[in-house]
């Protein structure tokens, strides 16, 4: 699922996008102990957390007012055994572990007046099922002293992911394309070689895994695999392909757009997987977004219909207008596909299998080729 940049409001507010950047896993029950197992801040101004795996985090920022410095705080499920306040050093005035209510642990970083932070560049990222990282952008290296509690590097706590019920695929074993022909690499339509260029954009990557769902399934693993397969299928049909990334690296949104706009591409497709939370496994479905132009809508429609053909039973969430950066700023027909919910009891087990990812790649490639052939 696409992740917007974090917001930096002048007043207290949620650091935007954290819920989607975070691993969207089931919340702990209200009576559970705090999910915060360990934390530390480095001299470079990097906050790292170790938590129990099955949680959702929220991060907030508040600008300094009335002689007070800025604050950053993170809310985790479960109440702490004790509240406490630790003296900081340098620009970090104090670290407080609080209990705003009976169900929440709040880790608060209080900074000295005049400390300059850049919340627009701050992003809370899940780097593993139980690891989190937040760079306190704007701090100069060495402006805070190291601090922490517990062992951030300790082994993960024992965790058994919920198993989602598997719903059987059609017994025929052979999916069909939108025109009724069996869907395979050899059945994909051909185009004049060298005439078309397509940009494929695997969402997320590197320290940003995107959404994480049932069984620890990571969005980045799904979409990179599907994207690389789409690229090969298109190349075999004579299409020049540009990939915004080919491995687990972090590529910001503006460079993705810049690469696409300088490529002379005829189409841009950003590939993602959706998520809600582990408490709603009933939410599944395929959806595709476009921005304004009729050509982009035609591309999105071609992709949506083909993906639905290989995802029987998964709800059709439709072709929708969207304002995601990568489709709003690109100059060619562009679409962003959501291949299913990693938190859905129907979509997630499928997305976790190589065979379904192969079928999705075939469907996306066919949708692109159909669009190019009709353009």
Residue 159 resides in a domain = no
In this structure, are 137 and 196 located in the same domain? no
In this structure, are 190 and 305 located in the same domain? yes
User: What's the rounded Cα separation, in Å, for the pair 37 and 153?
Assistant: 11
Strand order in the sheet with 316-321: 240-243, 197-202, 267-274, 334-341, 286-290, 316-321
Q: What is the pLDDT of residue 289?
A: 97
Closest residue by Cα to residue 50 from 179, 151, 146, 163? 151
Among residues of the chain, what percentage have pLDDT more than 70? Answer: 83
In this structure, are 314 and 370 located in the same domain? yes
- Mean pLDDT calculated for residue range 47-63: 81
* Local structure of 189: helix, strand or coil: coil
**80: Cα separation from own chain's centroid:** 29
Q: Give the contacts of 131 (CB within 8 A, at least 6 positions apart).
A: 48, 49, 50, 51, 152
Q: What is the pLDDT of residue 262?
A: 96
User: What's the rounded Cα separation, in Å, for the pair 338 and 283?
Assistant: 13
pLDDT band at 248 (very low <50, low <70, confident <90, very high): confident
pLDDT over threshold 60, residue 222: yes
Residue 160 resides in a domain = no
In this structure, are 137 and 189 located in the same domain? no
pLDDT digits (tens, 9 = 90+) for 169-214: 333 344 545 555 556 787 898 899 999 999 999 999 888 899 999 9
pLDDT digits (tens, 9 = 90+) for 301-352: 999 999 999 998 899 999 999 999 999 999 999 999 999 999 999 999 999 9
The domain that holds 96 is classified in CATH as 2.60.40.3500
Strand order in the sheet with 58-62: 13-14, 58-62, 71-77, 104-111, 92-98, 84-87
User: What's the rounded Cα separation, in Å, for the pair 21 and 16?
Assistant: 9
User: What's the rounded Cα separation, in Å, for the pair 322 and 327?
Assistant: 8
Contact criterion met (CB below 8 Å) for 302 and 371: yes
In 3-state terms the chain splits into helix, strand, coil percentages (rounded to 5) of 25, 30, 50
pLDDT over threshold 60, residue 10: no
Name the E strands within 3-128.
Answer: 13-14, 36-41, 46-51, 58-62, 71-77, 84-87, 92-98, 104-111, 124-128
pLDDT digits (tens, 9 = 90+) for 119-130: 877 777 777 777
Domain count, the chain: 2
The domain that holds 203 is classified in CATH as 3.40.630.40
User: What's the rounded Cα separation, in Å, for the pair 295 and 201?
Assistant: 18
> Which active-site residues does the annotation give?
338
Q: What is the pLDDT of residue 12?
A: 34
Its domain, for residue 37, covers: 13-141
Residue 6 resides in a domain = no
pLDDT digits (tens, 9 = 90+) for 90-121: 999 999 999 988 888 999 999 999 998 888 77
pLDDT over threshold 80, residue 167: no
């Amino acid at each position: 699922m696409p992740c917007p940049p974090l917001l930096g409001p002048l007043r207290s507010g949620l650091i935007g996008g954290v819920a989607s950047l975070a691993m969207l896993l089931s919340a702990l029950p209200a009576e559970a102990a705090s999910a915060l197992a360990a934390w530390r801040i480095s001299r470079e101004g990097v906050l790292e957390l170790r938590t129990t795996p099955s949680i959702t985090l929220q991060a907030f920022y508040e600008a300094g007012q009335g002689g007070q410095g800025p604050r950053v705080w993170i809310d985790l499920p479960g109440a702490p055994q004790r509240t406490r306040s630790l003296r900081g050093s340098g620009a970090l005035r104090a670290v407080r572990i609080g209990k705003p209510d009976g169900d929440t642990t709040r880790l608060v970083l209080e900074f000295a007046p005049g400390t300059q932070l850049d919340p627009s560049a701050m992003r809370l990222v899940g780097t593993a099922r139980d690891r989190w990282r937040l760079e306190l952008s704007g701090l100069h290296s060495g402006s805070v002293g190291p601090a922490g509690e517990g062992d951030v590097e300790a082994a993960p706590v024992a965790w058994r992911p919920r198993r989602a019920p598997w719903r059987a695929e059609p017994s025929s074993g052979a999916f069909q394309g939108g025109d009724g022909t069996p869907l395979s690499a050899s059945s994909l339509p051909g185009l004049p070689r060298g005439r078309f260029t397509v940009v494929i954009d695997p969402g997320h990557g590197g320290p940003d895994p995107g959404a994480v769902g049932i069984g620890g399934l990571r969005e980045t693993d799904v979409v990179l695999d599907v994207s690389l397969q789409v690229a090969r299928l298109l190349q075999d049909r004579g299409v020049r392909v540009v990939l915004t990334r080919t491995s687990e690296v972090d590529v910001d949104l503006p460079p993705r757009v810049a690469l696409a706009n300088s490529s002379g591409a005829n189409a841009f497709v950003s590939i993602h997987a959706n998520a809600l939370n582990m408490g709603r496994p009933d939410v599944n479905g395929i959806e595709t977004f476009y921005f304004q132009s009729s050509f982009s809508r035609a591309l999105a429609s071609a992709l949506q219909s083909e993906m639905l053909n290989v995802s029987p039973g998964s709800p059709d969430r439709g072709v929708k207008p969207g304002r995601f950066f990568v489709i709003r700023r690109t100059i060619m027909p562009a679409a962003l596909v959501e291949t299913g919910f990693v938190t859905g009891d129907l979509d997630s087990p499928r997305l976790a299998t190589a065979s379904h990812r192969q079928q999705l790649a075939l469907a996306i490639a066919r949708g692109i080729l159909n669009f190019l052939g009709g353009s």
